[in-house]
Amino acid sequence: MKVLAVNGSPRKKWNTATLLEKTLEGAAAQGATTELVHLYDLNYKGCSSCFACKMIDGPSSGRCAMQDDLRPLLVKIETEVDVLILGSPIYFGQMTGEMRSFIERLFFAPLIYSQPPRSVFPRQIKTAALYTMNVGEETAKQMGYEAMFNSTEVWLSRIFGVEAETFCCFDTCQFADYSKVIMEYMDPAHKAARRAEVFPQDCRRAFELGERLASTK
């Protein structure tokens, strides 16, 4: 079994990346082969609306025709991956631009404008979307984050044929040393305590997510 985690954060060693690594550790504990890809290492753009993926009997029917650094990753997902985990921090109430551009290319190509819409992705794979954010759970609800979470989960399920999971890590610590930045909005002591006491629990939940997704039972 091949489990791929895609990091949509520009940071390779902080909250999102750490949780994705934990999911892969959990998957590896189930015997899976794992890989972590950092989107910020790749040079690509979002969907160009060329519609080559929609042409009947076209050479790119059902597949993105754009040739850039994202191409090998999309091919790998189509041909090799059994579990796909997408991870992104929340910036201004949305996933990062890099993750959004990746999702446009990932979702749109296999989506057919039938009635009802259907997917021509050639296999069924398990998926999950993992989010980190510096607001608490109640604030996230008040700001309407759940609509985005639910929408992404629905599209993952529709495109890849298996019910998707959503994983949220709330009230994250953004900096190792808050004294070096202007920070009147948040309480550094609270953030440090949260990092020490709650984040390890989130890491354990992420490990369990990886175990569950890689399980063949």
pLDDT (tens digit per residue) in 1-19: 999 999 999 999 989 999 9
Span 96-112, pLDDT tens digits: 999 999 999 999 999 98
How many structural domains is the chain composed of?
1
User: Which among 146, 154, 152 is positioned nearest to 170, based on CA atoms?
Assistant: 146
The rounded distance, in Å, linking the Cα atoms of 132 and 171 is 8
User: For position 73, what pLDDT does the model report?
Assistant: 96
In sequence order, what DSSP letters do the residues of 129-154 get, joined into one string? EEEE-SS-HHHHHHTTHHHHHHHHHH
172-185 mean pLDDT: 68
Specify the CATH number for the domain of residue 30. 3.40.50.360
Rounded-to-integer distance, Cα 108 and Cα 116, Å: 15
Within 10 A of 68 (CB to CB), how many other CB atoms are there?
A: 12
pLDDT (average), residues 42-66: 91
User: Across all residues in the chain, what is the average pLDDT?
Assistant: 90
Rounded to the nearest 5 percent, the helix, strand and coil shares of the chain are 45, 20, 40
Q: Could you read off the pLDDT of 141-173 as tens digits, one per residue?
A: 988 999 999 999 999 999 999 999 999 999 886
> Peptide bond before 72: cis, by omega within 30 degrees of 0?
no
Cβ atoms 47, 106 nearer than 8 A? no
**pTM value?**
0.92
| Orientation angle between helical segments 145-160 and 97-108, nearest 10 degrees | 30
Q: Which domain holds residue 64?
A: 2-214
pLDDT at 181: 67
pLDDT at site 182: 67
Distance CA 144, CA 9 (A): 21
Residue 178 has a pLDDT of 66
